[in-house]
Amino acid sequence: MCGIVGYLGNGSAVDVWDGKCFTDVNASGVDARDGEFFTGVTSEAMPVLFDLLKKLEYRGYDSAGIAILNDENGEIRTFKTEGSVGDLISITPELGGRIGIGHTRWATHGKPSTKNAHPHSDGTGRIALVHNGIIENYAEIKDKLIESGHEFRSETDTEVLPHLIEEYYDGNLESAVRNALSMVRGSYALAAISVDDPGRIVVARKDSPLVIGLGDGGFFVASDVSGILKYTRDVVFMNDGEIGVITDAGIDITTLEGVSVEKKIETIEWDPEAAEKSGYEHFMLKEIFEQPDTIRDTFSGRISADGIDLGVALPNVRRIVIIACGTSYHAGLFGRYVLERFARIPVDVEIASEFRYTDPIIDCGDLVIAITQSGETADTLAAVREAGSKGSQKLGIVNMLGSSITRECQCLLTRAGPEIGVAATKSFTSQLACLLLLSVQLGKARKTLSTADVNDFVYELKQMSGNIQRVLNSAPDIRKCATMFADADQFLFMGRGANYPAALEGALKLKEISYIPAEGFPAGEMKHGPLALIYDGVPVVAIATKDPVYEKTLGNIKEVKARGATVIGIANESDTEIAKYVDYVLRIPDTDPWIAPVLSSVVLQLFAYYVAHHRGCEIDKPRNLAKSVTVE
C-alpha cells in the first residue's frame, strides 16, 4: 500500500538521473521547481532516495519523508511532509550521508498529515524506521509503552515499532528489531537505521513486499522491483518471517528465529525503460499502448503447433473456485465463462475480501485460482491460505515474480511487466489471456475440446496481439467519442455473457480515473431494476459484439433507447446492423466471440482515459486509491 525505500552507498559514484540539465538547482542537485534530478553522479543517499520514491509514488502519495544518517555528526536527520514527493523535495535541505531510508504513504491509521508521515523515530531520535503494512496489536503495545514512559507524536500504528525497538536496544539494531517483531501481530515490510549502530540498514518482511537490489554503487531497498530497475537488475526477494542486515560487506538474511537463510540472486529481465513514460503523457496511456507486446509476451513459449503448454501442473478437479479483488475479480468472472465453456468444469467466482467469512466449502477435489496483479493483495493472500488450510489445490495468476503468491502456490505469470498506473490495464488483458490459455489446455486435457477446436482457437489467439493494435490505431475515434460525453453525470455499461465482465471493468475504469459514477450490468437485467436509472440523454455503453446472444443484446439496447438513453455501441467491424440501434459505434476487429471481450476492454480503457484526460483528472494516481492493496 505504501512505498518504502532504502539506500546504502558504498562510496562509488552512482548515476542518479539522466534527464535534462537545469541551471536552477540546489546543492544536492535537485531542481527546486519540479523535483527533477540534476544530471550527475553521487554516492550520497539523498538524491537516490528521492529518485526511488518518485518511482514508487504510485504506491502512496498522501505524504512522504526521508531519514538520512549523517556521516559528519552521526545524527539522523528526518524531513517529511503531507503531500507528494515533489513537496518533500521542495522543503528538504541538502542532507549529507550515504545511508538513508524513505517512505511514500497511503493512509490507513491516522489522517494524511506531516506528523503521521514516515519515517517515524523512537523517543530519543536515535532510531528511524519506515513501514508498510498493519500492526494489528499496536494499541495494546502502545498502552504498555506509554506506561513505560514513551511519548507518541502520531496517530499511526507504525510509531510503536521504533519505540518497541528502543525498548530492546542494547547496541545491536538487528537483535532489537528481531525481539520487537516477536511481540508484533500483523503485516510489515520495514527498514530501520540507528545512530548507535551505523553502517547498516536492517530490513524485515511479513505479508508485505520487500526487495533488495545489488548494484555497483551500493544496495537498494524497495517495496517494488520497478523502483530499482534503473540501478540494477540483480535482486533478492525477502520472504515472510525474514530479517536482513545490509552493510558494506553484503547482505545477511536470517529467519526471525535467527536461522541463516541462503538467498538466490535473481536477475530481472524487464527493461528499465519499461518503468518510464517513454514520451506518453501518462503511464496509463503508455501501458494501454503496450498491450500488443504484453499479450505477445503472455503467449510466448506457451502456444505451439501442438497446442498450449503453460508449464504448470493442472490437476484433475471437480470444481474451480476463483478468488480475486477489483479488476482481477472481473478477470475471474470472465474466467468462469471460458473455463465452463471449454473445460466443462463448474466454476465459482468469489470476492477475496469476503471469501473467508462465508465459511467456504472447499476440499481436496477443488482447484482454487487466485488472480492478483501484484501477488501481494492482502485479501487474496488470506483467501488462498484459507483455501489451502481446507486441503484445496492452488494456482496463482500473477504478474510479479517473487511476490507472496508465488510462494503460496504454483503460479502462471502474466508477464505484463511493471504497471505503474494505479488503474489496471495491461495486467487485466494479460490475465484474460492467461485464462483463455488455461481454459483451452484444460479443455484439451479433459477431451471437451477436439484437436480441430484447439487448432482453430489457437489460430485466433495468435491474431489477438495484432487485433489489439488495430483497436489502438482507432484511438482518435475513441477520443472524439469520449470527449462528447466527458461532462456526463453518470454512465451505465451493459453486456451479456462474457461481455458482462468487460462491462463491469469498463465502468470501474471510468469511475477510478474520472470520478464519474458508473455502473456495469448484465444487459438482460436492465428490466429488473436498472432501467429506473435511465433518463433522457444518459449515456449507456453497450457491448454488442457478434456472439450467441447478439440478438438479445440488441433487444436490450432498444429498451434503453426507448427511455431516452444515448447509446454508445461497441461492435465488430463487419456489423452493418448496429448503427440502426445506437447513436455512436466504436469498432473492434472481427474475432472469436470469446476473444472479443479482450478487444472491447481495450476500447473501454481508452474511452475512460480520454474522458478523464478531458476532465483534467490525476490519471496515474487517482484519489484515495493505491496500486497494491496490502492491507485487509
- Residues carrying an active site annotation: 2, 627
Query: Cell for 368?
Result: 482454487
Using CA atoms, how far apart are residues 104 and 111, in angstroms rounded to an integer?
14
Output the DSSP codes for 512-570: HHH---EEEEEGGGGGGTGGGG--TT-EEEEE--SSTTHHHHHHHHHHHHTTT-EEEEE
Query: Computed over its alpha carbons, how large is the radius of gyration of the chain?
Result: 26
Phi-psi label, residue 56: left if phi above 0, alpha if psi -120 to 50, beta otherwise: alpha
Whole-angstrom CA distances from 569 to 18, 540, 595 are 45, 8, 17
Classify each residue of 574-590 as buried b or exposed e, where b means 16 or more C-beta atoms within 10 Å of its C-beta.
ebeebeebbebbbbbbe
Burial code of 213-244, b = ≥16 C-beta within 10 A, e = fewer?
Answer: bbbebbbbbbbbbbbbbbbbbebbbbbbebbb
594 alpha carbon, distance to own chain's centre: 26
8 A C-beta contact, residue 368 and residue 329: no
Please return the burial class of 397, using the count of CB atoms within 10 Å of its CB with bins 0-12, 13-18 and 19+.
buried
Say whether 180 sits in a helix, a strand or coil. helix
Cα separation, 101 vs 420, in Å, equals 21
Sign of the torsion angle spanned by Cα atoms 138, 139, 144, 146: positive
* Cβ-based neighbour number of residue 448 at 10 Å: 15
Q: Which residues of 415-429 are buried (b: 16+ CB within 10 A; e: fewer)?
A: bbbbbbbbbbbbbbb
Length of the chain: 632
Q: In angstroms, rounded to a whole number, what is the distance separating the alpha carbons of residues 280 and 217? A: 30
SS (H, E, C) 40-94: EEECCHHHHHHHHHHHHHHHCCCEEEEEEECCCCCCEEEEEEECCHHHHHHHCCC
Q: Which amino acid is at 451?
A: T
Q: Residue holding cell 502462471?
A: 412
CB 105 within 8 A of CB 226: no
Cis, bond preceding 622 (omega within 30 deg of 0): no
